[in-house]
A and B are shown apart, each in its own frame.
Chain A
Amino acid sequence: MAMLTVENLEASYGAVRALHGISIEVAEGELVALLGVNGVGKSTTLKSIMGVLRPVKGTITFEGQEITNRSPEKIVKRGISLVPEGREIFGTLTVEENLRLGAYVGFKRDRYKADLEEMFELFPILKDRFHQAGGLLSGGEQQMLAIARALMGHPKLIMLDEPSLGLSPAMTDQIFRLIVTLKERGSTILLVEQNAERALEIVDRAYLLANGQIEHAGTAEEIKRKVDVASVYFGDQTDADSCEVSL
């Protein structure tokens, strides 16, 4: 029984269809990646799961209960957390306040203190920056804050949207190591990445998206064998010819 099941998801922006029936599954404890070049609908999928976008068709089930068309706040309450693309840190709020809002769902004072300590252990930099405005942090620090903020709500499923985007290679390494750590700690993770090569090194399974559809699905090994990863990474010639929707 999968934790998250997405069936036949279709979504569109106005008249532009972005997803043409996507089905994915994530089981408890799994680290699954959603791969593909820019604009194939990876973020749209996450936003639809999260209730930020309303799908045209399809069902989304989480822990056996349908959550299609629920509001984002309700879905967060169910235990899904999204680390959005571009970090989306509250720039005018301090690091502390960002984390406090992350703990909004099911807030318990005693647990909150312990959680903070845990975050400081995972991300020591956040302790130093605790009272600074989120907007003053560097890109990598913001990404850590965004992940910490999501963890503060004790999600059952974490969805990471392009966590390595715009980061230095060293920082990218750090983020990928962190994702592995999170998995080892027992988190269930759905990772969206353009950097297919790197993602395939750490994930259990992966889905490969092209033009709003799933082209390949399988374990990391299978995907690596089936697909010329470099072509995915850089964008396949034949794919580039077809009309792509830029999101």
Chain B
Amino acid sequence: MIDLEFVINTLSLGSLYALLALGLVLVYGILKLVNFAYGEYIMIAGYAIYLSATLLHAPWYLTLLIAVLAAVLVSYLTELIAFRPVRSQSPNALIVTSFAVSVFLQNVVLIMVSPRARPVQLPFFFSRTIEIAGATVPLRNLLVIAVTAVLLVALSLLMKKTVVGMAMRAAADKFTTTRLMGVPANLVISTAFVISGLLAGVASIFWVSRSASVDPLTGAAPLLIAFIAVVTGGMHSTLGAVVGGFVYGLVFNLLSVTLPASMISYRDAFMFALVVVFLLFRPAGIIKRGYTEERVG
């Protein structure tokens, strides 16, 4: 049961989940916002692929670019229009705002496109399979691993080597003090949303390629996965999010192969129950860091 195919599948699933979790935790780290609209960035990117590839027949590289840009743009705009004015208010006000943004975006798509699912066309090479040491693996599973690796390296360079990255790490630690250095609060927060959108856009490409379709509720499942991965891994560090993503991918795949067929429909409930139980013993997640609870304004 645990063979090379399982390992690659788990790695690819874990990579995808790590991307999802990372995008969520970047914003949470700085703004202490649990962003319920995050799933909608993924959904919008999916519709961008639909528009570009299915309707306009754009070449695949352009399609992928448009998808990522769409997610980045929506993420940035939601910050600018909805979250910025609510920023100094209670954490619940922020969360409820993000929930409202999520409902808003879903219904915009519902009205403008359709409640029904739309097919998306992905690059031809996504559906190829290749053989590695006797195991048959879809090419897109290898792609997601590679892309995630590149993004993780790029992101960690950004955070370590650039001033904006330093400022973001500083802001996640002490937001007000970061402003006392002269770093504009809006710059840090907008950058976090832009990166969050970028990660959502890339993740979306791989997410919608699994079902090859997109509908207004496409964002719900990846959002949940990101939530669960983040709380499992630890919501106070980007490393925690990545670890959480991979752990979630592993547990998911293990449950898929070990649960009896009659119980498989309860798999999600099982996952959440496991996470809730886990959190009771380790409320800060796998990767523990000093709790900073300063709020941002």
Contact = CB atoms under 8 A, between A and B. Distances in A.
Contact of B180 (A84, A92, A100): A84
Interface residues of A, number: 24
B267 to A, nearest CB: 37
Contacts of B179: 52, 71-73, 76
A205 interface: no
A76 B177 contact: no
B54 interface: no
Contacts of B184: 71, 73
A100 B183 CA distance: 12
B176 A92 contact: no
Tell me the interface secondary structure of chain B in the complex: helix
Contacts of B170: 90, 93, 97, 101
A93 B166 contact: yes
Contact of A91 (B167, B182, B185, B290): B290
B178 interface: yes
B133 interface: no
Nearest to B167: A101
A149 B181 contact: yes
Interface in A187-204: none
A90 B173 contact: yes
B166 A88 contact: no
Contacts of A107: 163
A77 interface: yes
Interface in B148-186: 163, 166-167, 169-170, 173-174, 176-185
B238 to A, nearest CB: 11
Nearest to A149: B181
B182 A73 contact: yes
Contacts of B185: 71, 73
A180 interface: no
A92 B173 contact: yes
Given A90-B169, A149-B181, A104 B176 contact: no
Nearest to A91: B173
Contacts of A104: 163, 167, 181-183
A93 B159 CA distance: 11
A50 interface: yes
Given A73-B183, A77-B182, A105-B181, A52 B176 contact: yes
A101 B173 contact: no
A153 interface: yes
B164 to A, nearest CB: 10
A92 B178 CA distance: 13
Interface string A58-97: 0000000000000111001100011010001011110001
Nearest to A50: B180
Contacts of B181: 76, 101-102, 104-105, 149, 153
Contacts of B167: 101, 104
A154 to B, nearest CB: 11
Given A92-B173, A93-B170, A97-B166, 10 more contacts: A52-B180, A71-B185, A72-B176, A72-B180, A73-B185, A76-B179, A76-B181, A90-B174, A101-B166, A101-B178
9 contacts: A72-B176, A73-B179, A73-B185, A93-B166, A97-B170, A104-B163, A104-B167, A104-B183, A105-B181
Interface of A: 50, 52, 71-73, 76-77, 81-82, 84, 88, 90-93, 97, 100-102, 104-105, 107, 149, 153
Interface of B: 163, 166-167, 169-170, 173-174, 176-185, 289-290
